[in-house]
Amino acid sequence: MERDAVIVAGFGFRQTATLASLQSALAATRAAPDALSAPHDKCAATVLISLANSMNLPLIPVPAEDLSKAETLTRSTRVIKERGTGSVAEAAALVAAGPGARLQAPRCVSQDRLATCAIAERKMP
């Protein structure tokens, strides 16, 4: 079945996040993504690789310099100072989804507060 949009789940997470942390954040979005994304430096994290493998989805690394190019709904002062964007999850999702992508909603936070997930959607021509 062909889809009329590509859906990407972007993640931001702390080093102490677990697979359950990422699963919790994703579940809160209620989305069924076509791909997962995160900043390039986070894509080697075992928890993120495990999630991508368990869902049989590609993992799209986003270069750090591209995060600041995305217009996010969330504006965290701490994250702006550290990463140059208001939300790592939102920026990763938007950049990975491609030009014209839009966020479905602000990022969702895992129950343990160690991970965030945002969903971006890009309509297919």
pLDDT in 10s for each residue of the chain, 125 residues:
457 899 999 999 999 999 999 999 999 999 999 999 999 999 999 999 999 999 999 999 999 999 999 999 999 999 999 999 999 999 999 999 999 999 999 999 999 999 999 999 999 87
Question: Which residues have CB under 8 Å from 56's CB, separation 6+?
Answer: none
Return d(Cα 61, Cα 44) in angstroms, integer: 9
> Tokens representing 120?
């971006």
- Count of domains observed in the chain: 1
Which domain CATH number covers 112? 3.30.420.180
* Residue ranges making up the domain that contains 42: 5-123
- Six-digit token pair at 2? 């062909």
Q: What are phi and psi of 18, to 5 degrees?
A: -110, 175
Integer CA distances (angstroms), 122 to 29, 78, 80, 86, in order: 16, 28, 25, 20
Q: What pLDDT, on the 0 to 100 scale, is given for residue 2?
A: 58
Q: What is the pTM of this model?
A: 0.94
Six-digit token string for 104: 């479905």
